Amino acid sequence: MSENPTHVGLSEALKQGKAEEAEALARQALDEGSDPLELIQTVVVPTLTEIGRRFQEFEIFLPELMLAGEAAKRATAPIEAAIAESGKGSASLGTVVIGTVANDVHDIGKNIVGTLLSAHGFKVVDLGRDISPSGFLDAAEQHEADVVAMSSLMTTTRPAQQSTIKLFEETGKRGSYKIIVGGGSTNEQWAEKIGADGYAPDAASAAELCRKLLKGE
């Protein structure tokens, strides 16, 4: 972690979920000449990874994670704008379209995964809950997703993950995206059975899984 006082302040503001302060410090760091890409890679991502670890270890709870996620959104907006302006490419590790499958209204687990994926540097498009197979397909195409992530809590809604993958196959789009599954009713065997590219038992593993899949590991 950088010892630059503004960078340290930004990291602290993110940890404490202070959105306005985090945005102001991000702008200040850019004004002071910090490289935007480096700011993301050396300050924002490591800080949010640490917050994610603390959440995973039950040292902090969902409210703190949500506040940190909100602060991160505010802080990264000006940094991403600066990256785009500089033409240096994107700070994002990739785009993940995420949602809870058709007929399933349980979305807190999916929300946590979305927050942690953002924290790890992915661009997350959260479709919400009760998403039809075509809803996932349309969103994947529209947002040029790298990963499609489907959550299902109930054993009775789990088959919708299979139907969604089937639709991607039938439309010839399966090869364009990595598709991962998670949620209380799923496991490794189920993921294999339906032809998913991966399964994650919790939010931290989901971030790691996406990273590995996009690196081709």
Partner 1 sequence: MLGNWLGEIVKRSDSGPYMKEAEFEMALSKRTGELVKAHGLKFNGQEPVPSDDEMADRLYEAGLELFVDLGVYNQTTERCIRFSRDEAERVVAAAPEAVTLGVGKDAVVMRHRGVESEVPCVVHSGPTGTPCSERYHPLILQSCARERLVDCLGAGSVSTYMGQAITPGTPLEILASRRDAGVAREAVRMAGRPGMHINDVAVPLTCAGKMAAIDLGSGLRPSDALLVSQMVEMKTDFDQLSRVAHLQNVGMHVADLMTPLIGGLGGGAEGTAVVTVASHILGAVLYSASYHFMSHTHLRWVNNTDRMGLWMQAMVGQALGRNTPMVTVNDIYTVSGPGTDELLWECAAGAVVGAVCGMNQQGAGATGGYETDHTTGLEARFIAEVAHAALGLTRGEANGIVLELLSHYEDTFDEPKRGMSFPEVYDEETVEPKEAWLDIYHQVRQAVIGLGLDLDGGWKKVRYE
Question: Using CB under 8 A as the criterion, what x/- string covers residues 114-153 for binding partner 1?
Answer: ----------------------------------------
Contact present, 103 and 38 (Cβ < 8 Å)? no
Say whether residue 155 binds partner 1 (CB under 8 A). yes
Angstrom distance (rounded) from CA 139 to CA 11? 33
Q: How far is the CB of 111 from partner 1 (least distance, A)?
A: 8
C-alpha atoms less than 13 angstroms from C-alpha of 74 in its C-beta half-sphere: 18
Token code pair at residue 94: 């990739």
Which of residues 135 and 184 has its CB atom nearest to partner 1 in the complex?
184
Judged by CB under 8 A, the residue of 8, 30, 37, 66 near partner 1 is 66
Q: Please work out the total of residues on this chain that contact partner 1, with binding judged by CB under 8 A.
A: 24
Say whether residue 105 binds partner 1 (CB under 8 A). yes
Of 81, 4, 1, 12, give the one whose Cα is nearest residue 42: 1
Binding range to partner 1, per CB under 8 A, among 3-11, 23-31, 133-141, 159-167: 159-167
The CA-to-CA distance between both ends of the chain, in Å, stands at 27
Query: DSSP letter string over 91-103?
Result: S-S-EEEEEEBTT
Q: How far is the CB of 53 from partner 1 (least distance, A)?
A: 13
Q: How far is the CB of 156 from partner 1 (least distance, A)?
A: 5
Say whether residue 158 binds partner 1 (CB under 8 A). yes
Q: How far is the CB of 85 from partner 1 (least distance, A)?
A: 29
Contact present, 93 and 121 (Cβ < 8 Å)? yes
Judged by CB under 8 A, the residue of 185, 196, 206, 209 near partner 1 is 185
Token code pair at residue 34: 């910090």
CA dist 166 → 96, 134, 149, 174, 200 (Å):
19, 11, 15, 8, 20
CA dist 202 → 2, 66, 205 (Å):
30, 17, 5
Judged by CB under 8 A, the residue of 97, 116, 125, 160 near partner 1 is 160
Judged by CB under 8 A, the residue of 35, 50, 70, 138 near partner 1 is 70
Residues found near partner 1 in the complex (CB under 8 A): 56, 58, 61-64, 66, 70, 103-106, 108, 154-160, 162, 184-185, 202
